């Protein structure tokens, strides 16, 4: 049995920042994530994309943000159960919870923070009869490392931001980029659509619209795709390629958490946003993309804020009757559980008499 103060389900940016905020309150955290690595959507879906709305970072790659969050929380020595999905929760007589994963690992804590984001997310796959045979053999639904596509011939399918952005990015990396979309209009940012148009005119992206990939060619791995083009007459043709990347978005599923007796609205967990993002079950909080309340925005910085407030209530549950006086880190410093101490040089903290 793994025991901790706050059991965090989901090691995305919200879960990782919770470790830091809890650490300031001397609370220990353990994180469970179904993915094999921390970082949530940032690591799994768009590690190489720059984010522009993280306070104080004019621009930071999503993968680098994950690294920074890990560096920031390291001093509070979080535990990790990675590659396992939190499946069941049982309330104990002492009001603590036991959470068991699909692999049978048990965790016990007085407070559970669900930071499960979109839940166990699955990419939307095109209906191509033989696509499953080529998964990870040239068919990828998520681009994790663009280097995989260096000097390779790539076919991307999709009409949203991901398809546009990756076509633009890979036009500098791959030997050939073909973007296929079933309509002539794209749903992405205007800038990206214009950029793709420019790259098409410069011969750096082949654009095939309105068209659909209807088959994959190859034996052991992808050798090409069969495309059906719908113009005046429907015609089929083949494109030779090394990779086929359908980017049709993700279909979010809350997964097993949906059966935990929590109030759910539109695939998200309802919380009390006037106080601390607690769910209808006392002791269970939901923070980050996974929750919903009036005015909710699914943004990383909102998850950080929610994590900070939630930790204050977790402190009160874990230390009943004890008063906590919030102090700035610049004043109190930061005492890591690993014995490290960070503090501002005294000269920069002046007392006002």
Ligand X SMILES: Cc1cc2nc3c(=O)[nH]c(=O)nc-3n(C[C@H](O)[C@H](O)[C@H](O)COP(=O)(O)OP(=O)(O)OC[C@H]3O[C@@H](n4cnc5c(N)ncnc54)[C@H](O)[C@@H]3O)c2cc1C
User: Site residues (CB under 6 A) for ligand X?
Assistant: 9-15, 32-35, 40-42, 45-46, 51, 53, 85-86, 115-120, 255-257, 288-290, 298-301, 303
Place of tokens 């610049």: 330
CB 316 within 8 A of CB 285: no
Provide, rounded to whole angstroms, the least separation between the CB of residue 156 and ligand X. 14
Beta strands at 122-123 and 153-157: parallel, antiparallel or unpaired: unpaired
The answer on whether 86 is annotated among ligand-binding residues is yes
The answer on whether 289 is annotated among ligand-binding residues is yes
Provide, rounded to whole angstroms, the least separation between the CB of residue 250 and ligand X. 7
Provide, rounded to whole angstroms, the least separation between the CB of residue 85 and ligand X. 4
Distances (CA, A) of 194 to 52, 171, 198, 202: 20, 14, 6, 12
The answer on whether 121 is annotated among ligand-binding residues is yes
Provide, rounded to whole angstroms, the least separation between the CB of residue 133 and ligand X. 26
3-state class (DSSP) for residue 120: coil
241 or 290, CB closer to ligand X?
Answer: 290
113 or 211, CB closer to ligand X?
Answer: 113
176 or 289, CB closer to ligand X?
Answer: 289
Place of tokens 């790659």: 61
CB 248 within 8 A of CB 277: no
Q: What is the DSSP letter of 64?
A: H
120 or 133, CB closer to ligand X?
Answer: 120
3-state class (DSSP) for residue 85: coil
Q: Which two tokens stand for residue 146?
A: 């663009």
12 or 188, CB closer to ligand X?
Answer: 12
Q: Which two tokens stand for residue 113?
A: 């923070």
Is 126 exposed, middle or buried (CB count within 10 Å of its CB: 0-12, 13-18, 19+)? middle
The answer on whether 33 is annotated among ligand-binding residues is yes
81 or 178, CB closer to ligand X?
Answer: 81
107 or 153, CB closer to ligand X?
Answer: 107
Place of tokens 């083949």: 238
CB 296 within 8 A of CB 306: no
Torsion from C-alpha of 126, 159, 40, 138, nearest 10 degrees: 50
Cα 267 to chain centroid distance, Å, stands at 16
Provide, rounded to whole angstroms, the least separation between the CB of residue 342 and ligand X. 25
Gap between the terminal Cα atoms of the chain: 51
Provide, rounded to whole angstroms, the least separation between the CB of residue 183 and ligand X. 21
Residue nearest to ligand X (CB): 117
32 or 196, CB closer to ligand X?
Answer: 32
The answer on whether 46 is annotated among ligand-binding residues is yes
Provide, rounded to whole angstroms, the least separation between the CB of residue 211 and ligand X. 24
Please provide residue 50's backbone torsions phi and psi, each rounded to the nearest 5 degrees.
-80, 140
Provide, rounded to whole angstroms, the least separation between the CB of residue 58 and ligand X. 12
DSSP string, 238-263: EEE-SEEEE---EE-B-GGGGGSS--
Going by C-beta distance under 8 Å and a sequence separation of 6 or more, which residues neighbour residue 104? none
- What residues form the annotated binding site for FAD? 14, 33, 41, 46, 86, 121, 289, 330
- What residues form the annotated binding site? 14, 33, 41, 46, 86, 121, 289, 330
């Amino acid at each position: 049995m793994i025991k901790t103060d706050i059991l965090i389900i989901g090691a995305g940016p919200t879960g990782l920042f919770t470790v830091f905020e809890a650490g300031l309150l001397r609370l220990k955290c353990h994180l469970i994530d179904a993915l094999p690595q921390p970082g949530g959507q940032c690591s799994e879906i768009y590690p190489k994309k720059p984010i522009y709305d993280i306070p104080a970072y004019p621009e930071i790659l999503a993968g680098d943000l994950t690294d920074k969050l890990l560096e920031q929380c390291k001093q509070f020595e979080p535990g990790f159960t990675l590659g396992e999905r939190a499946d069941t929760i049982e309330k104990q007589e002492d009001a603590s919870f036991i959470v068991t994963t699909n692999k049978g690992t048990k965790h016990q804590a007085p407070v559970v923070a669900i930071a499960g984001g979109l839940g166990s997310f699955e990419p939307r796959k095109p209906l191509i009869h033989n696509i499953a045979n080529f998964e990870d053999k040239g068919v990828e639904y998520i681009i994790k490392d663009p280097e995989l596509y260096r000097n390779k011939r790539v076919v991307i399918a999709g009409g949203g931001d991901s398809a546009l952005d990756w076509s633009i990015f890979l036009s500098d990396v791959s030997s050939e980029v073909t973007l296929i979309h079933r309509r002539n209009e794209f749903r992405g940012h205007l800038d990206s659509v214009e950029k793709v148009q420019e790259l098409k005119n410069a011969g750096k992206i082949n654009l095939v619209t309105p068209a659909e990939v209807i088959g994959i060619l190859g034996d052991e791995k992808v050798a090409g795709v069969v495309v059906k083009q719908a113009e005046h007459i429907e015609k089929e043709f083949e494109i030779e390629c090394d990779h086929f990347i359908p980017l049709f978005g993700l279909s979010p599923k809350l997964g097993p958490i949906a059966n935990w007796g929590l109030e759910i609205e539109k695939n998200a967990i309802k919380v009390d946003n006037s106080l601390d993002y607690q769910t209808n079950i006392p002791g269970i909080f939901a923070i980050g993309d996974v929750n919903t309340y009036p005015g909710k925005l699914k943004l990383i910085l909102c998850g950080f804020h929610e994590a900070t407030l939630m930790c204050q209530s977790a402190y009160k549950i874990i230390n009943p009757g004890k008063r906590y006086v919030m102090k700035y880190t610049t004043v109190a410093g930061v005492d890591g559980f690993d014995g490290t101490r960070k503090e501002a040089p005294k000269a920069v903290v002046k007392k006002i008499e």
